[in-house]
Amino acid sequence: MSHPTVGSELRAAARGGGRLPLLWLGVLFLAPLSFAFWLYYGSSWRPLLRTNHGELIDPARPLPRVSLPLVGGTGGASATLLAGKWSLVVLGAGPAGCDATCQENLVYARQTWLSLGKFVPRAQRVLVGGAGCCDVAYLQREHAGLLTVAGASPEGALVLQAFPLPSAHFIYIVDPLGNLMMRYDARSDPKGLREDLKKLLDLSHIG
């Protein structure tokens, strides 16, 4: 004689055994997700949301619109020199107006500029030289196209006040609106500067 109740119990147990692995799979899937949500929203920890390699100057600093005198046969004076294009700016120092560190920064800026490819026309290199600036023959020979500003002039000194210190090893980015926005340590990997500048040029519709 058959016992329907026993058969039903066996089938129910089988179905229960089949659900158990599914339950475990659900726990394994949801546990990391739940932990991630708790970590982000329920604790004080936050991930570092940074895609740039350089140091953002926050807030960006509008540079004064003054007539900057150019030296070394690179032209006259211009109030819009640091506007209209993305500028890689190097600050000079030392008795010659651009010491050894400054010269290394110029090479770094030149190689970065040359690597921009199709974006080269939208960028420029600017040296704000110190007192006694500069060895014009050297700059013309090694850095053709570089715009050189007399930083020791009253107008140049006014612009220099906007740059954060210390500045010896840094290259600065000024946007086409004349805002000082980023700086890079020239002792670090130059790929970072190139990648950030290309990203800015690719995304920006100015300059």
Instruction: Please give the C-alpha separations between residue 148 and each of 134, 156, 160, 192, in angstroms, as whole numbers.
Output: 8, 11, 14, 25
Query: Which pLDDT does position 4 carry in this prediction?
Result: 53
Count CA atoms within 13 Å of residue 112 on its CB side.
Answer: 30
Same domain membership, residue 74 and residue 43? no
How far is residue 184's CA from residue 195's CA, in Å, rounded to a whole number? 12
Q: Are strands 123-129 and 147-150 parallel, antiparallel or unpaired?
A: parallel
Same domain membership, residue 189 and residue 98? yes
List the structure tokens of 175: 């946007």
- Please report the DSSP string for 8-66 in residue order: HHHHHHHHHHHHHHHHHHHHHHHHHHHHHHIIIIISS--------SSEEEEEEEEPP--
Could you tell me the CATH number of the domain that includes residue 91? 3.40.30.10
Same domain membership, residue 197 and residue 103? yes
Same domain membership, residue 193 and residue 93? yes
Query: Which pLDDT does position 37 carry in this prediction?
Result: 44
Question: Is the pLDDT confidence value at 155 over 50?
Answer: yes
If one counts the domains in the chain, the total is 2
What's the mean pLDDT in 85-101? Answer: 88
Range among 37-51, 65-79, 123-137 rated most confident? 123-137
Same domain membership, residue 164 and residue 65? yes
% of the chain residues with pLDDT over 90 = 31
Of 47, 66, 81, the residue that ends a domain is 47
CA dihedral 205, 194, 152, 143 (to 10 degrees): -110
Same domain membership, residue 97 and residue 199? yes
Of 47, 69, 84, the residue that ends a domain is 47
Confidence category of residue 137, pLDDT binned at 50, 70, 90: confident
Confidence category of residue 174, pLDDT binned at 50, 70, 90: very high
Q: Which domain holds residue 172?
A: 55-203
The pTM for the full model equals 0.72
% of the chain residues with pLDDT over 70 = 71
Residue of 127, 143, 125, 92 whose CA lies nearest to 197? 125
Length of the chain: 207
Question: What is the DSSP-derived secondary structure letter of residue 70?
Answer: B
Query: Which pLDDT does position 44 carry in this prediction?
Result: 47
What's the mean pLDDT in 67-89? Answer: 81
Same domain membership, residue 108 and residue 171? yes
Same domain membership, residue 26 and residue 63? no
Same domain membership, residue 120 and residue 59? yes
Residue of 46, 71, 56, 44 whose CA lies nearest to 155? 71
How far is residue 71's CA from residue 77's CA, in Å, rounded to a whole number? 9
Query: Which pLDDT does position 22 carry in this prediction?
Result: 61
Q: Is 81 exposed, middle or buried (0-12, 13-18, 19+ CB in 10 A)?
A: buried
Query: Which pLDDT does position 93 carry in this prediction?
Result: 79
What's the mean pLDDT in 101-120? Answer: 93
Same domain membership, residue 142 and residue 185? yes
Same domain membership, residue 24 and residue 65? no
Same domain membership, residue 16 and residue 74? no
